[in-house]
Structure 1
Amino acid sequence: MTFMIGVDIGTTSTKAVIYDDEGSIKAVHHVEYPLHTPTADTAEQDPDEIFDAVIMAIKQVVREAGAAKNEVAFVSFSSAMHSLIVMDDNNTPITRSITWADNRSHHYAKKINEEYDGLSIYHRTGTPIHPMSPLSKILWLKEEQPEVFKQAKKFIGIKEFVFYKLFNRYVIDYSLASATGLFNIHELKFDKDVLKLLDIDESELSEAVDTTTYYEDMDRKYAEMMGIDVSTPFVIGASDGVLSNLGVDAFKPGEVAVTIGTSGAIRTVIDHPKTDKQGRLFCYALTKDQWVIGGPVNNGGIVLRWIRDEFAASETETAKRLGVESYEVLMKIAERVPAGSNGLLFHPYLAGERAPHWNADVRGSFFGLTLSHKKEHMIRAALEGVIFNLYSVFIALNVLMDEPVNSLKATGGFAKSGLWRQMMADIFEHQLIVPESHESSCLGAIALGQVALGLKGDFSHISHMVGASFEHEPTFDHVKIYREILPLYINLTQSLEENYAAIAAFQRRHDHLQLEQQEL
């Protein structure tokens, strides 16, 4: 018996999944950690806590599966994108891990767009100009935290931190590198003009390697902690988004994957780098020969959680007492309302937005409220708003795809809801398939690891590891309603563009005033 371990370093937790040599899951373990958000724009984590979580998650699944030290064939990694950690001359972090959700560099994202031809940078790097990216964050550090900037020996991400601790070397895979805004996706090396803009040198960044690269002979003490052999191959792997496509068997031409977790994304795989004329879509590496284009959205399940907490607190308490999942109650409430929510629209921009707007200032809103609307309308409108926004990204994706869409596959926490699944089929006007495996990023990491180590020749075997649990066909009566209301949703967002900046500036001013009062 041999085992394979996939590790996904996420925003809220690290997950390890151990598979046997036939691809069956033997154990899963999550280790959570906090996200520090002292202001509306701050979102940081402790890198040492995350490293400890990686060690603990692997240790736990090895133990639960009963795997001996020499029975683990490899460990392969998935990771959230866009994190930034500054390391000093002692190879010690002097910042927390600044996550993708941190918006403090929003002014500098605007500056890059306006003063440094941001669209040209995007076309070279594949990363839209946005505060999420290390490009914007490093410029912000340079301008607003010059002492930290001067002390920097390395600018790295969270997976680089993990591999440095394990193997004492700074390495970044092409996938995460292509999500930094610093990496030229056409040349597969860091972009000289971007480095010049930031006033940093390539030596201050990690060595960029293909996603199939692996390392052996880790620090012995960590191997002993995890209960694995010191020579176990650790495959560097890729980002969570591109591996999710692989893990739901959506990597062939015309296949599209949609994920809704806390945030969300829609993606497809192509065989060469390609960017969008308007800068709406990312282009990230899966391997040096396969690329993923698509768009991420900030507002997925986080909207549902907000709706639950703010609109259905009493129902949630009742559900807890009865032992019922609180989100199931929300869906039951939303089912009382017809498609289109009787003309109530919700723009789900509670956390700014990435695709397709790439604007940290956009804000959420209800539009069309009347005295006839009730709580259930607002709940359903919020669910529809999340899918409407993903569909607006889908419109842009269709333009760049090499072949027409022939398959739409959905994964993430939302896939547990029959109502939300059907809503997506209706709004996208396409059959929706939900893969049986919910551990898509970890499964993608496993498939990548098998190819990296020569255990498989390509990714074709993944279809045998991924079944289908649900299939939904569009309901024509609902499709007609959504065709009518979708243009209103899209046009309204565009008409509010100027006001978004004004209300965001007002909110930030008052956030700072409140913080000052608290400190006094």
Structure 2
Amino acid sequence: MDVVIGIDSGTTATKGVAAGLDGELHAHASVHYPLLVPGPGRAELDADRVRDAAVEALVDVAGQCRAAGHRVVGVSLSSFLHALVPMDADSKPLGPLVTWADGRAGGQSAAIADQGLAKKLLARTGTPVHPMAPLSKLAWWGATDPETLRDTPRWGGGKELILSGLADEAYLLDLSLASATGLYDIHARRWDPEALEIAGVREDQLAEVVPTTRRLRLKAEVASAAGLPADTPLIIGAGDGPLANLGVGATPAGVAAVSLGTSGAMRTVVDQPSSDEAGRLFCYALTEDRWVVGGAVNNAGSVVRWAGQAFAAGFARPAAEGENADEIDAALLIEAQSAPPGSDGLLCLPYLLGERAPWWRAGMRGAFLGLGREHGRPHLVRSAVEGVCQQVALVRDSFDAAGFPVTEVRATGGAVASDLWVGVLAAALDLPVAIADTPEGTGLGACLLGWHALGSLPDLDQAAGLVDIGAPTVPDAANAELYRRQRPLIEEAALFVAHLSEQLTTPVAAPDDRKSGAVPG
């Protein structure tokens, strides 16, 4: 069977899969690496390890395909968004890869917003002004180490780094990753002059932007190590968020993908770059004529994991020897089902890691509101799940307000293994929620984009028929009405808490973090 290999570089692992034109997966590999937190506000990866992991995953999956008698007709790439790494003139990293979760650029993001530029930049670039974005990260570098910013030959992200290990090509970046930098005008299709000025970089320090379907060449040594023909096409691919929509078949109009893992997101596909005048939603490319509009939330499964750490001491059921955090999370969620919908009036603002959509307030802090003696651990955990799902519903409300109505939801991620999560999500969205039967939606999306680039999948909407979807969970009408009534209260309380948070905290920019390991080229 002919297959395309998809390489999905994520923030904790690089995964490889192989899929036929029918969407069926035939091989899987995973290469893990740690997220590094060397100081307050920092979230980095070893750049060399991320680059090498892509090669290792490719070699592993190609070997599995060869052993099974499958013919690899292409390799297609996915990468996490919003990363930044300094590189020399040969695209070798000069320091760690700074991830989306790094918060050091909070002060720069706030300054851009204070100047009244945030909505204008979002309208042109599709990327909200936020510490996650390379725009703000580069501005931080300019404020703390201007010589390195000026003298570094190349500034790239995850995709440029991966290509430096796999591709025998010039310095390139796909349209999808470019559209998530905050530096690229998605309407004029060029690096945005004002954004470059704010960031303090020159256009010659950034990669040439090409379509997500661009075919490249594998390095000879990589093709040899993987046992692939030297002329095997390498498709540059796209970002992980847009590809996740493709991988669960959420490409037709009105169909949204919701991912609930450590963090979460809701995305839908439109036919042209679109701006949300209220500044709540991002717009990133999947291909030149398919764009993903959506919003990401920082806090999802991580909130239940925190609850397990904070509330599981003295757990009513004795923890079995060797019981891991996943098992404790699952037990807490089962216990939380004993609390009623609405958690007896307890509201959770789940902003343990700040928040992105729909407000893009990096300094937001969490809170429980309405806490009384009648509330126990089940209420606390259930209200945390409800708080996350209500945040996703606020993103959905932003879709409606911006003219992107959603009628169907396909959900993925570790959280949707829980009946509680799925039931609350369906009620909060007031939509049926179907679970996509694929654990590797992003990798499959990369494979399907590869088939599209090779001309074998001309219409990306065909992906909707290739992905197995379970029977949808229908929202409980009474619960949906309860959550609808609560949502304005949550939004009002959240913005009030955000104001308090800004008074209590300041952006992290420690003097000893100035260079983050970068060396001028």
Please give the TM-score of this superposition, normalised by the length of structure 2: 0.93
Partner of 2:519: none
Partner of 1:359: 361
User: Are 1:390 and 2:378 an aligned pair?
Assistant: no
Contact (CA 8 Å) 1:94, 1:148: kept in 2 or not?
no
Contact (CA 8 Å) 1:155, 1:205: kept in 2 or not?
yes
Instruction: Give 3-state SS (helix, strand or coil) of 1:318's partner.
Output: coil
Instruction: Give 3-state SS (helix, strand or coil) of 1:438's partner.
Output: coil
CA shift, 1:19, in A, is 2.1
The code of the aligned residue for 2:211 comes to D
More deviation in 43-52 or 452-461? 452-461
Partner of 1:81: 81
Kindly provide the CA deviation profile for residues 4-27 of structure 1, in whole angstroms up to 9, marking residues without a partner as x. 111111111111111245432122
Partner of 2:517: none
Q: How does 1:5-84 map to 2 (within 5 A)?
A: 5-67=5-67, 71-84=71-84
More deviation in 285-294 or 15-24? 15-24
Distance change >3 Å, CA 119–CA 89, structure 1 → 2: same
CA shift, 1:237, in A, is 0.8
Kindly provide the CA deviation profile for residues 31-57 of structure 1, in whole angstroms up to 9, marking residues without a partner as x. 111111123310011111011211112
Contact (CA 8 Å) 2:91, 2:164: kept in 1 or not?
no
Partner of 1:221: 221
The code of the aligned residue for 1:202 comes to E
Instruction: Give 3-state SS (helix, strand or coil) of 1:280's partner.
Output: coil
Kindly provide the CA deviation profile for residues 162-186 of structure 1, in whole angstroms up to 9, marking residues without a partner as x. 1123224211111110000000000
Partner of 1:429: 430
Partner of 2:406: 405
Distance change >3 Å, CA 482–CA 319, structure 1 → 2: farther
Instruction: Give 3-state SS (helix, strand or coil) of 2:461's partner.
Output: coil
* Separation of aligned partners in 1, 2:346 and 2:222: 54
Identity between Structure 1 and Structure 2 (%):
38
Contact (CA 8 Å) 2:176, 2:285: kept in 1 or not?
yes
CA shift, 1:305, in A, is 1.5
Kindly provide the CA deviation profile for residues 52-74 of structure 1, in whole angstroms up to 9, marking residues without a partner as x. 21111222222233358992111
Instruction: Give 3-state SS (helix, strand or coil) of 1:471's partner.
Output: coil
Q: How does 1:101-250 map to 2 (within 5 A)?
A: 101-115=101-115, 117-166=117-166, 167-216=168-217, 218-250=218-250
Q: How does 1:228-377 map to 2 (within 5 A)?
A: 228-313=228-313, 315=315, 318-319=319-320, 321=322, 325-377=327-379
More deviation in 176-185 or 466-475? 466-475
* Separation of aligned partners in 1, 2:321 and 2:462: 42
CA shift, 1:329, in A, is 0.8
Contact (CA 8 Å) 1:133, 1:181: kept in 2 or not?
yes
* Separation of aligned partners in 1, 2:202 and 2:178: 15
Q: How does 1:459-470 map to 2 (within 5 A)?
A: 459-470=460-471
Please give the TM-score of this superposition, normalised by the length of structure 1: 0.93
Distance change >3 Å, CA 212–CA 147, structure 1 → 2: same
* Separation of aligned partners in 2, 1:76 and 1:262: 25
Contact (CA 8 Å) 2:23, 2:448: kept in 1 or not?
no
CA shift, 1:319, in A, is 4.8
Distance change >3 Å, CA 172–CA 86, structure 1 → 2: same
Instruction: Give 3-state SS (helix, strand or coil) of 1:8's partner.
Output: strand
* Separation of aligned partners in 1, 2:60 and 2:439: 20
CA shift, 1:321, in A, is 4.9
Distance change >3 Å, CA 52–CA 314, structure 1 → 2: farther
Contact (CA 8 Å) 2:65, 2:72: kept in 1 or not?
no
CA shift, 1:210, in A, is 0.7
Instruction: Give 3-state SS (helix, strand or coil) of 1:285's partner.
Output: strand
* Separation of aligned partners in 1, 2:322 and 2:303: 24
Distance change >3 Å, CA 447–CA 336, structure 1 → 2: same
Kindly provide the CA deviation profile for residues 221-261 of structure 1, in whole angstroms up to 9, marking residues without a partner as x. 22223332222111111111111111111111111111111
Q: Number of residues paired by the alignment?
A: 509
The code of the aligned residue for 2:162 comes to V
Contact (CA 8 Å) 1:270, 1:401: kept in 2 or not?
no
* Separation of aligned partners in 1, 2:318 and 2:10: 29
Instruction: Give 3-state SS (helix, strand or coil) of 1:492's partner.
Output: helix
* Separation of aligned partners in 1, 2:433 and 2:194: 43
Distance change >3 Å, CA 91–CA 375, structure 1 → 2: same
Contact (CA 8 Å) 1:319, 1:329: kept in 2 or not?
no
Instruction: Give 3-state SS (helix, strand or coil) of 1:488's partner.
Output: helix
The code of the aligned residue for 2:371 comes to L
Kindly provide the CA deviation profile for residues 195-224 of structure 1, in whole angstroms up to 9, marking residues without a partner as x. 2333322111001011111112x2222222
Partner of 1:518: none
Kindly provide the CA deviation profile for residues 297-336 of structure 1, in whole angstroms up to 9, marking residues without a partner as x. 1111211221122222555972565799333212111111
* Separation of aligned partners in 2, 1:336 and 1:375: 10
* Separation of aligned partners in 1, 2:203 and 2:225: 34
Large movers: runs of 4+ above 4 Å? 67-70, 313-317, 319-324
Distance change >3 Å, CA 219–CA 385, structure 1 → 2: same
The code of the aligned residue for 2:112 comes to I
Distance change >3 Å, CA 396–CA 410, structure 1 → 2: same
The code of the aligned residue for 1:39 comes to G
Distance change >3 Å, CA 145–CA 69, structure 1 → 2: farther
* Separation of aligned partners in 1, 2:498 and 2:36: 29
* Separation of aligned partners in 1, 2:203 and 2:272: 25
Partner of 2:421: 420
Instruction: Give 3-state SS (helix, strand or coil) of 2:294's partner.
Output: strand
CA shift, 1:275, in A, is 1.2
